[in-house]
Amino acid sequence: MTAVADRSLGPELARIQTINPDTDVLVIGLTSSENGPAIVPEDLFGDVLPEGIRTELLDQLGAVGAKGKAEELTRVPAPAGLDDVTSVLAVGLGPADKIDEEQVRKSAGVAARSLAGTELVATTLGGVDLGAAAEGFYLGAYTFSTFKSTKSAPKPDEQPVARVEFLVPEPNFGENALLRAQLTAEAVATARDFVNTPPSHLYPAEFADRTRQLAEAAGLEVEILDENALAAGGFGGILGVGKGSSRPPRLVRLTYAGGPKKVALVGKGITFDTGGISIKPAQNMENMTSDMAGAAAVVATTLLAARLGLPITVTATVPMAENMPSSTAQRPGDVLTQYGGTTVEVLNTDAEGRLILADAMVRACEDDPDYLIDVATLTGAQMVALGTRTPGVMGTDEFRDRVAFISRAVGENGWAMPLPAELRADLNSKIADLANVAPHRWGGMLSAGLFLKEFVPEGVQWAHVDIAGPAYNTGGPFGYIGKGGTGVPVRTLIAVIEDIAAAE
Ligand code: BES
Ligand code: ZN
Ligand code: ZN
């Protein structure tokens, strides 16, 4: 068992009422308008930013072209009177009437990224939205350098900002908001760390061990089924997908028992997806290190529910396997028996996610959950339909819409998609109960959703979230999202769980 690497923790976050001496940078928010930029919030910090200093700052910022456009960055030397700071960084928030939480998160994220190499930052952005600003700073500062040896380790001026202090108007202001933001951002970072850990170092047994360590530290109940237990239990989907690899599969179960309502989470944990015998092209195959992002998100969310002490029961059922081609791999045309007895003809070994999820979903529903949410980097078709930043949300109508709505409210952009009944017949198999793919390309994301639907019992409110694109950023950084694992949809999941816990 490998110890969980002490992850390079994000910046320390704290609340202050006056700017500390030796602060390197003061980050302020700037809105745009026809009359030029304005500093926000307007009057919360009169003692810290008196009228005279504000006017001078605005003059200086205007002189170097600051407009207050969303995520614009302008840095100026600290004006006379702001003696405790070296410079002021103004970050744009766009038009004042359009500022929402997500804008604050994005602007704080962009500011945090530009502050690499800075020790101590103070900011007034907490006066706009403390929770969103804290999440944005923490997530924007995220880096993953575990595999950089001393040869290429981040230099001092590339190190993430070390400490961010949020100016608050009085000592009681925002204590809970900051704590919640910190715990949430840490959970997102945990999911990112798992996704960013390469397949050489994160394979099923290792993923299960690291999950166990984190879960035990958070006081959760943990159960891990190894390949023998999976065989004894009849988990044919997980075994079928895992059998081409020398690194055997696992099924991890975490339970946080916090209250009467029950939410079951299931996440796809393919630690690497070569496609198996239906092998993928070499180009971009390395991105399939992210094929366990659903698993990472549900593990991180379950830990977070426990840390927040939510009054609800959350279970995570997490199948982990490596999809490899070999002489022991399953073949196109093989038939396997899913947990629960459904037989599936495996026409394409690259449609492996649905096979491991089906076993896990049937197992999760043995506990009679009220709600079931499965999360998976399931189909390339998700990206064809919705692009790389919009998760597709399918499932039972009402719950699907609720999850998609909440996902947009937290800035993770989930969009409701249908499960058209006429596509179901294309999953009929000549020799088994079901085929794992349709004989055509149309509606590939929906077809995968329809396959999963076969394994959801009547009466369970179900949402299936396809995050093939949104889980992993292969492009440049934007907002509070860097390259690599994004941690999507941890913030959606925790907000849905909180919404369920709070409802009648
Ligand atoms: N892991 C992939 C889906 C994926 C593709 C995730 C690109 C992220 C980026 C999944 O296992 C897969 O290969 N799906 C196939 C299904 C097809 C064979 C029906 C796909 O989307 O091509
Ligand atoms: Zn695949
Ligand atoms: Zn896959």
Centre of ligand 1 to C-alpha 347, Å, is 14
Closest atom of ligand 1 to CA, residue 436: 19
User: Which residue puts its alpha carbon closest to atom 7 of ligand 1?
Assistant: 380
The per-residue pLDDT for 39 is 97
CB of residue 380 inside a 6 A radius of ligand 1: yes
Residue 501 clears pLDDT 90, i.e. is over it: yes
CB of residue 444 inside a 6 A radius of ligand 1: yes
Residue 238 clears pLDDT 90, i.e. is over it: yes
- Ligand 3 ion: nearby residues, β-carbon < 5 Å: 270, 273, 291, 353
Residue 230 near residue 249, CB atoms below 8 Å: yes
The burial of 63, by beta-carbon neighbours within 10 Å (0-12 exposed, 13-18 middle, 19 or more buried), is given as exposed
Token pair, residue 450, equals 């329809």
Token pair, residue 176, equals 């809970």
Centre of ligand 2 to C-alpha 207, Å, is 19
In whole angstroms, what is the distance from residue 158 CA to residue 283 CA? 30
The per-residue pLDDT for 6 is 41
Which are the contacts of 202, defined by CB distance < 8 A and separation ≥ 6? 194, 210, 271, 289, 292
CB of residue 289 inside a 6 A radius of ligand 1: no
CB of residue 227 inside a 6 A radius of ligand 1: no
Centre of ligand 2 to C-alpha 386, Å, is 19
In whole angstroms, what is the distance from residue 427 CA to residue 425 CA? 5
CB of residue 323 inside a 6 A radius of ligand 1: no
pLDDT > 90 in the chain, percent: 94
Mutational pocket test of ligand 1: of 379, 388, 446, 464, the residue with most ligand atoms within 8 Å of the beta carbon? 379
Any idea which ligand is nearest the CA of 381?
1
pLDDT tens for each residue of 251-286: 999 999 999 999 999 999 999 999 999 999 999 999
Centre of ligand 1 to C-alpha 263, Å, is 27
- Residue 154: pLDDT band (50, 70, 90) is confident
pLDDT tens for each residue of 414-447: 999 999 999 999 999 999 999 999 999 999 999 9
- Residue 8: pLDDT band (50, 70, 90) is low
CB of residue 457 inside a 6 A radius of ligand 1: no
In whole angstroms, what is the distance from residue 230 CA to residue 406 CA? 35
Minimum mean pLDDT range among 7-11, 81-85, 287-291, 364-368: 7-11
Any idea which ligand is nearest the CA of 436?
1
Centre of ligand 2 to C-alpha 380, Å, is 9
Flag whether 155 is marked binding.
Answer: no
CB of residue 350 inside a 6 A radius of ligand 1: yes
Helix (H) or strand (E) holding 281, with range, is none
Any idea which ligand is nearest the CA of 325?
2
CB of residue 466 inside a 6 A radius of ligand 1: no
User: Which residue puts its alpha carbon closest to atom 6 of ligand 1?
Assistant: 468
3-state secondary structure at position 379: coil
Flag whether 273 is marked binding.
Answer: yes
CB of residue 436 inside a 6 A radius of ligand 1: no
pLDDT tens for each residue of 242-259: 999 999 999 999 999 999
In whole angstroms, what is the distance from residue 406 CA to residue 119 CA? 35
Minimum mean pLDDT range among 7-16, 190-199, 449-458: 7-16
Burial 138-152 (b: 16+ CB within 10 A, else e): bbbbbbbeeeeeeee
pLDDT tens for each residue of 191-229: 999 999 999 999 999 999 999 999 999 999 999 999 999
Residue 268 near residue 291, CB atoms below 8 Å: yes
Closest atom of ligand 1 to CA, residue 438: 19
Pairing of strands 120-123, 85-95: unpaired
Closest atom of ligand 1 to CA, residue 447: 19
Mean pLDDT, the chain, integer: 96
Closest atom of ligand 1 to CA, residue 377: 6
Flag whether 24 is marked binding.
Answer: no
Centre of ligand 1 to C-alpha 288, Å, is 9
Helix (H) or strand (E) holding 141, with range, is none
User: Which residues form the catalytic set?
Assistant: 280, 354
pLDDT mean over 306-327: 98
**Residue 444 DSSP code:** H
Residue 301 clears pLDDT 70, i.e. is over it: yes
Residue 2 clears pLDDT 50, i.e. is over it: no
Centre of ligand 2 to C-alpha 72, Å, is 39
In whole angstroms, what is the distance from residue 388 CA to residue 406 CA? 19
The per-residue pLDDT for 1 is 36
In whole angstroms, what is the distance from residue 254 CA to residue 264 CA? 10
Centroid of chain to Cα 190: 9
Closest atom of ligand 1 to CA, residue 350: 13
pLDDT mean over 121-133: 98
- Residue 9: pLDDT band (50, 70, 90) is confident
The per-residue pLDDT for 4 is 41
Centroid of chain to Cα 69: 27
